[in-house]
């Protein structure tokens, strides 16, 4: 697992520390983040899924909910969401994120660069599953 970088420790004020604690008090979900590394085996290069972070406290927010699309025997589930978590975790576009919420697990893909604040970061996610 990778270890995240600290966000400018010298610039953190007591007010930011209080703000961060207040924001993190809303984190009722947990997530695991998987990235992809290129691995060469037997002359073939392939992407291998690697666990980067595990059991990170976070909050999931629904950005938009689209109706499911039924095609034949498959029900497509697709919607946008936003993940809030601590700023020290480096989560890059394309990472797979598994979020545990209220006893259920949801799989998402990080779709853009994280917007990082001193107190938290926001990451746009896409859920695209078949039910």
d(CA 103, CA 96): 19
87 is a domain residue: yes
Q: Within 10 A of 33 (CB to CB), how many other CB atoms are there?
A: 26
As beta bridge partners, residue 99 has 31, 106
Average pLDDT, the chain: 86
For residue 63, the model assigns a pLDDT of 78
Q: What is the DSSP letter of 20?
A: H
Q: Using 50, 70 and 90 to split pLDDT, how confident is the model at 42?
A: confident
Which domain, by its residues, includes 38? Answer: 9-130
Of 120 and 77, which is predicted with more confidence?
120
Q: Using 50, 70 and 90 to split pLDDT, how confident is the model at 129?
A: confident
pLDDT tens track for 51-64: 999 999 999 998 77
Q: Are the C-beta atoms of 115 and 91 separated by less than 8 Å?
A: no
Question: CATH number of the domain that 36 lies in?
Answer: 2.40.10.270
For residue 119, the model assigns a pLDDT of 93
Q: State the total domains in the chain.
A: 1
Mean pLDDT of 69-92: 86
Contacts of 127 (CB under 8 A, 6+ apart): 77, 78, 79, 80, 81, 106, 107, 108
107 is a domain residue: yes
2 is a domain residue: no
Q: How many helices (H) and strands (E) does the chain have?
A: 1, 8
d(CA 48, CA 78): 25
> Residue 19: phi, psi to the nearest 5?
-60, -45
């Amino acid at each position: 697992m990778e270890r995240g970088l600290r966000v400018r420790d010298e610039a953190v004020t007591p007010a930011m520390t209080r703000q961060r604690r207040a924001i993190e008090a809303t984190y009722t979900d947990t997530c695991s983040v998987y990235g992809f590394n290129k691995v060469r085996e037997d002359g073939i290069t392939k992407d291998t899924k690697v666990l980067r972070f595990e059991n990170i406290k976070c909050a999931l927010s629904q950005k938009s909910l689209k109706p499911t699309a039924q095609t034949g025997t498959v029900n497509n589930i697709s919607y946008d969401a936003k993940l809030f978590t601590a700023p020290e975790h480096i989560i890059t576009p394309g990472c797979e994120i598994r979020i545990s919420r209220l006893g259920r697990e949801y799989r998402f893909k990080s779709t853009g660069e994280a917007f990082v604040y001193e107190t938290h970061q926001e990451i746009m996610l896409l859920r695209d599953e078949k039910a």
